[in-house]
């Protein structure tokens, strides 16, 4: 948030212009006559006048806190873990992880801490971060404003003496920005998923005619299908957004593109003349696949929502009522009071017993083995999901048991006191439950994963015209550029996609 605010303040002249106009109006109305108002006005003027004032002040304050770099190192390592294991769903979540890593490195590298020394101690992995930053060089900052990730690195105090260690600062084009290479895999993923979705859609019609509800396996299959669908849509949207962001930061000129006139505006050079014919067709085709699949999945929303609620309810109740029995038995037997209290709290937070109360004769509560005949627990099945608070509490308590971040703090974790089998089951559920919030808000998640509004925003470029333009003509609008390209080329295979780019205007209205 601080990084975004500072970058907006640095890049958008409208912030300074609006405040200057306010000061003139306040002076005319004599609203700033008292000393306190004058002092506040001067302080705000200094903040607006100095670039990176917010982040520099934050950095100065952090450096007065002993060991602050250890916490930031943990945050960066978490981001790397999330990226390695794809623990994100929406494009925004992915880009936030990159921005947090870049900004975290900038905050850590200062007079009190050196990120290159932390790397030599293996507290963080700069080579791994460099690899990610090389793959994704530019991320969306806000609207149509972008920021190169390497700018966080180059601004750090110890960069010059360690410049040779970074490859992400080179200006070469990353393979991930070649939409033509990515198009064939996207087509294959789209075809495979559409056929699977069609099969389940037909089964839904058949199941609706039966009296019996869907089984746990059927609900799980539909839930997994919904998750894979939004993840696919998100990955395709990310491909387009990242290419578009890179193009905005690297506008063309009349030397690179002979069709680009010398007097072309900055925005035209970034959009209208910055894509060749094949790139425009690929753009349109991917947009059509995103919007087409979004429509198909939204038609099955009610089916997905019921299956998601039932599956998450079953998974959660099976976990707290059955899976947690063995870890509870071990902690009671070995008298590990703290771990027992956490496991009990996890149960109490979200358990839904069959008869409304916990069975008192459960042997695991006394640390005893089950009888030879077995101990039966009947877990109910309902069409209701847990609340966001319940999920948050359960996941937080689970994390306190399984966390192992390395470094000095690892000696204090409870992980070492737990059985290996128990850790595996707890860790598995913790990773699986990460996606529950996204699935329970399926409609909102689907919208975010297909949001291409960034392709229309151009307020930043309007400011660059210094008031010469109130609005750009439609010929410079990316949705219309793509639509017009289909109409002008008269390519028969693309005619079916002609209206899909215009849906980007609807995305902009949702932003």
- For 405-423, how does the pLDDT look when each residue is reduced to its tens digit (9 = 90+)? 544 444 567 878 887 888 8
pLDDT value of residue 505: 83
Last residue of a domain, one of 123, 151, 173: 173
| Residues 465, 426 within the same domain | no
| Residues 168, 183 within the same domain | no
305 part of a folded domain = no
Long-range contacts formed by 369-372: CB under 8 A, 24+ apart:
369/329
H helical segments located in 441-477: 442-449, 459-464
Query: Tens digit of pLDDT for each residue in 167-181?
Result: 887 766 566 678 899
| Residues 249, 378 within the same domain | no
| Residues 112, 198 within the same domain | no
Please enumerate in sequence order all residues whose Cβ is within 8 A of that of 293, keeping only pairs 6 or more positions apart, or say none: 190, 193, 194, 197, 229, 232, 233
Separation CA 169–CA 70 (nearest Å): 26
Helix (H) or strand (E) holding 47: helix 35-49
pLDDT value of residue 459: 63
Separation CA 53–CA 49 (nearest Å): 9
pLDDT value of residue 407: 44
- Please state the pTM of the whole predicted model: 0.86
| Residues 146, 14 within the same domain | yes
Domain that holds residue 373: 319-438
312 part of a folded domain = no
pLDDT value of residue 408: 46
65 part of a folded domain = yes
Please enumerate in sequence order all residues whose Cβ is within 8 A of that of 124, keeping only pairs 6 or more positions apart, or say none: 73, 76, 77, 115, 118
Q: What is the DSSP string of 233-244?
A: HHHHHHHHHHHH
Helix (H) or strand (E) holding 145: strand 145-148
| Residues 330, 256 within the same domain | no
311 part of a folded domain = no
| Residues 182, 157 within the same domain | no
- What does DSSP assign to residue 138? E
* Percent of all residues in the chain with a pLDDT value above 90, rounded to a whole number: 40
| Residues 242, 148 within the same domain | no
309 part of a folded domain = no
Last residue of a domain, one of 173, 190, 219: 173
475 part of a folded domain = yes
| Percent helix / strand / coil, the chain, rounded to 5 | 70, 0, 30
| Residues 481, 462 within the same domain | yes
Other C-beta atoms within 10 Å of 496: how many? Answer: 11
417 part of a folded domain = yes
314 part of a folded domain = no
pLDDT under 50 in the chain at which residues? Answer: 406-410
| Residues 326, 268 within the same domain | no
| Residues 290, 190 within the same domain | yes
3-state secondary structure of 314: helix
Residue appearing with tokens 């976990």: 319
- What does DSSP assign to residue 445? H
| Residues 338, 407 within the same domain | yes
pLDDT value of residue 352: 92
Query: Tens digit of pLDDT for each residue in 145-163?
Result: 788 888 888 888 888 888 8
Last residue of a domain, one of 173, 201, 236: 173
Average pLDDT, the chain: 85
Question: Into how many domains does the chain fold?
Answer: 3
């Amino acid at each position: 948030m601080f990084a975004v605010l500072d970058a907006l303040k640095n890049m958008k002249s409208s912030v300074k212009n609006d405040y200057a106009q306010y000061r003139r109006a306040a002076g005319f109305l004599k609203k700033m006559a008292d000393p306190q108002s004058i002092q506040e006005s001067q302080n705000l003027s200094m903040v607006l006048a100095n670039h990176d004032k917010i982040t520099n002040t934050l950095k100065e304050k952090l450096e007065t806190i002993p060991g602050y770099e250890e916490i930031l190192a943990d945050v960066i390592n978490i981001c790397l873990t999330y990226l390695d294991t794809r623990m994100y769903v929406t494009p925004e979540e992915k880009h936030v992880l990159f921005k947090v890593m870049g900004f975290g490195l900038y905050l850590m590298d200062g007079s009190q801490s050196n990120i290159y020394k932390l790397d030599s101690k293996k507290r963080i992995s700069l080579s791994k971060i460099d690899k990610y930053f090389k793959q994704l060089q530019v991320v969306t900052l806000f609207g149509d404003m972008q920021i190169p990730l390497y700018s966080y690195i180059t601004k750090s105090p110890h960069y010059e003496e360690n410049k040779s260690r970074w490859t992400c600062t080179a200006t070469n084009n990353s393979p991930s920005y070649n939409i033509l290479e990515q198009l064939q895999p996207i087509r294959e993923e789209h075809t495979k998923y559409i056929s699977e979705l069609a099969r389940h859609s037909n089964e839904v019609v058949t199941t609706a005619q039966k009296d019996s509800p869907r089984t746990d396996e059927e609900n799980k299959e539909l839930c997994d299908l919904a998750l894979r669908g939004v993840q696919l849509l998100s990955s395709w949207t990310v491909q387009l957004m990242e290419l578009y962001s890179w193009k905005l930061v690297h506008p063309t000129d009349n030397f690179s593109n002979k069709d680009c006139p010398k007097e072309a505006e900055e925005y035209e050079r970034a959009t209208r003349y910055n894509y060749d014919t094949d790139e425009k067709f690929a753009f349109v085709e991917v947009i059509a696949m995103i919007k087409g699949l979004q429509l198909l999945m939204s038609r099955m929303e009610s089916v997905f929502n019921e299956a998601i609620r039932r599956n998450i309810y079953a998974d959660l109740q099976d976990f707290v009522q059955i899976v947690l029995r063995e870890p509870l038995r071990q902690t009671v037997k070995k008298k590990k009071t703290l771990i027992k209290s956490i496991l009990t709290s996890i149960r109490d937070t979200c358990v839904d017993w069959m008869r409304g109360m916990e069975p008192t004769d459960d042997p695991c509560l006394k640390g005893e083995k089950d009888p030879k005949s077995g101990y039966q627990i009947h877990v109910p099945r309902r069409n209701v999901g847990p609340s966001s608070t319940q999920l948050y509490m359960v996941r937080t308590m689970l994390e306190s048991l399984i966390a192992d971040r390395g470094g000095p703090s690892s000696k204090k974790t409870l992980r070492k006191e737990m059985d290996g089998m128990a850790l595996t089951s707890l860790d598995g559920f913790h990773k699986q439950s990460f996606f529950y919030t996204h699935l329970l808000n399926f409609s909102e998640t689907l919208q975010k994963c297909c949001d291409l509004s960034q392709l229309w925003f151009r307020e930043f470029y309007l400011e660059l015209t210094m008031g010469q333009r109130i609005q750009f003509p439609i010929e410079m609008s990316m949705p219309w550029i793509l639509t017009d390209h289909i109409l002008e080329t008269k390519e028969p295979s693309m005619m079916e996609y002609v209206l899909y780019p215009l849906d980007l205007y609807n995305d902009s209205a949702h932003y």
